[in-house]
Amino acid sequence: MAVNDILRIAVRGLMEGQQCWITHHLKILQVGTTGADTGNAITAWNNNVFDSITFPQAIQDFQNQNFVWDRVQCMRVAPTIGGLNELVVNVPGSDPVDALPSTNAVVISRYSGLPGRAGRGRFYMPALPQDSCAGSRITAGVLGAMQAMMVRFIGLWTIIDPPVNWVFENCSFSRTRFLAGLTPYTGPIVNVIVREIIGTQRRRRIGSGV
């Protein structure tokens, strides 16, 4: 791993026998002391997204307890592909209320400063408890708490590794530009919006992933 490499985090969850994946990208701004390893990016994800001790809430606090995140993968996707690393985890949702159907999910949009499709992305968060929505919309209290949590995807993630720490930038990555031979990095994430209306995937089938 080296400065300016782009890494892809892929996180798998299980719901009703189905696989649900979300992906996120990080740019290395500073390589830490103890080796260039994508495992440090996995640690950054766990510390900022799954940690409900340091922060008031984590992503699993908005999910039904029958849902579980079970692995986190990371690999370099630019300028070359490689360095796959995987960590098996056990991070269940914490809410006992039944979840919405697996065809429903919360939509989280991420934006860089670049206009157009290349500068934005999104992921879907499954297993929202039924009492967290009304009229196909996320309730105001849950929406506000979720939005506060999602701002962790803006800015830098640091892993302490003295004397030189790892520093990752939450960034936008365009697969279309990558396949066209253009620079896939489209800037740091500057805004994250949790969509109020619940997303529905009509063509989803049992056994298929998000």
CA atoms within 13 A on the CB side of 133: 22
Residue 189 above 60 pLDDT? yes
Q: What is the pLDDT of residue 179?
A: 85
Residues 6 or more apart in contact with residue 149 via CB below 8 angstroms: 55, 56, 57, 58, 59, 61, 62
Averaged pLDDT score across all residues of the chain: 90
Task: State pLDDT tens for residues 30-80.
Answer: 998 876 668 899 999 999 999 988 888 899 999 999 999 999 999 999 999
Q: How many CB atoms lie within 10 A of CB 92?
A: 16
CA angle 72–21–184, rounded 5-degree value: 85
Residue 103 above 50 pLDDT? yes
| Residue 181, burial from CB neighbour count under 10 angstroms (0-12, 13-18, 19+) | exposed
Residue 207 above 60 pLDDT? no
Q: Model pTM?
A: 0.90
| Cα 77 from Cα 108, distance rounded (Å) | 22
Task: State pLDDT tens for residues 5-28.
Answer: 999 999 999 998 889 999 999 999
3 state SS of 110: strand
Residue written as token pair 């969850």:
13
Q: What is the pLDDT of residue 42?
A: 94
Q: What is the pLDDT of residue 202?
A: 61
Q: What is the pLDDT of residue 24?
A: 95
Note the helical H segments in the chain. Answer: 39-45, 140-150, 175-179
